[in-house]
Amino acid sequence: MDKFKFFVAIFLLAAAATAPKPASALYSPSDDVVELTPSNFDRLVTQDDAIWVVEFFAPWCGHCKSLVPEYKKAAKALKGVVKVGSVNADEHRSLGGQYGVQGFPTIKIFGTNKRSPTSYNGQRTAKAIAEAALAEAKKKVQEVLGGGGGSSNSGSGSGADAVIELTDDNFDKLVLNSDDIWLVEFFAPWCGHCKNLAPEWAKAARELKGKVKLGALDATVHQSKASEYGIRGYPTIKFIPAGSKSSSDATEYDGGRTASDIVSWALDKHTDSVPAPELLEIVDEDTFDKACEGKPLCVVSVLPHILDCDAKCRNKFLVTLRELGEKYKQKLWGWGWAEGGAQSNLEESLEIGGFGYPAMAVVNFKKMKFSVLKGSFSKDGINEFLRDISYGRGHTAPVRGAKKPAINTVKPWDGKDGQPPAEEEIDLSDVDLDDVKDEL
């Protein structure tokens, strides 16, 4: 029995000696190559501003082993400039699959577009790898100097920096309860449709900057928000209106997947959300500036004096102006009005009021040119006039003096009917009527 156990032990030792060794990493901590795993990849690579060169390898791969000395040399040369890492994709297959790794070694460069890294297909030398990494770093610097200023995870090229990277941690702060309207793409890095959408999404983000914010959230990493918004496929785009409090306020984007489709769809939503312009009474310099300064055009109306047109009459005019302000709100024009005779300098500069009230002029104070309403001061008449203006039609004239007119400080209208001035009472107690008769 003891002899039998002895031979069994010898057999097991021999089998162990000839069995394949467990897979192990090709690099050590002293090689300047950072070991990357599913637990640290996002923290170190995708959420970091640095440029990363990442090799996906398998320990049994002969080409991977041949690359080791050159990859170490590249890592040493790039130290302090570009970060270099490696992933044992044989052990961490999910991470390799996430980035479409189908063979070994595969080298990816995670640059300004962390969401869709570029595949390195150059020579397997330290010099070539380092040059490709430095080219990506230079590209990032040029984008920032060109006005980008931020990192992006969507798209590529000049519009990429306009796409805002969203995470579980910053989503509520940036999107919910904000004064902006958002389009948010929930994507997966390995998704082919997402990669196709990326440049269109970036281009749309650039064109919509200042009107609609575009964000992107990696739903494979930030699963909490993806689950909250019911994401079941990629890419999924959600429209989130300004002031949203929860995911229930979001609606599905149902437009096309080109930049022009996205921009057109978003601008419609933006127009719907733009508040109607405030119709301001021009009573001093401040109200005039608030109504007209910085606006592409300013619609200036002069209404009849309150004694010639009572409160009901004036309010009827104001309702018409507000309705048209709502209709043309997407133009972002300024709207102001004054009582006839109250702002004589303004009337003279715009050549209105001389033929009676009400009157209207549309002014471009940047070019110091204006156009006067010649038709009726009615909803239809004003609408036709403004429609021609919006199409660039209509006669224009230079503002008199070629400068902003002086604005008088007057009391604002109190909303009431006008009261004629009290007649002066004449005291006849000291008048001798007989003397008057003699004089006659």
Active site residue 194: yes
Q: How far apart are CA 75 and CA 329, in angstroms?
A: 56
Q: Which one from 64, 292, 298, 309 is the annotated catalytic residue?
A: 64
Active site residue 292: no
Q: Which one from 191, 292, 298, 309 is the annotated catalytic residue?
A: 191
Q: Any long-range contacts for 46-49 (C-beta under 8 Å, 24+ apart)?
A: 46/110, 46/114, 46/115, 46/153, 46/218, 46/221, 47/167, 48/83, 49/151
Q: How far apart are CA 300 and CA 377, in angstroms?
A: 12
Active site residue 313: no
Mapping DSSP to helix (H, G, I), strand (E, B) and coil, where does residue 307 land? coil
Active site residue 298: no
| Residue length of the chain | 440
Q: Which one from 194, 292, 298, 309 is the annotated catalytic residue?
A: 194
**Helix, strand, coil percentages, rounded to 5, for the chain:** 40, 15, 45
User: Residue 26 — φ and ψ, nearest 5°?
Assistant: -90, -10
End-to-end CA distance of the chain: give it in Å, rounded. 163
Q: Which amino acid is at 36?
A: L
DSSP per residue, 397-440? EEPGGGSPPP----PPP-SS---PPPPPP---TT--HHHHHHH-
Q: Which amino acid is at 85?
A: G
Kindly state the tokens that stand for 224. 């909490």
User: Residue 121 — φ and ψ, nearest 5°?
Assistant: -120, 20
- As annotated, the active-site residues are 61, 64, 191, 194
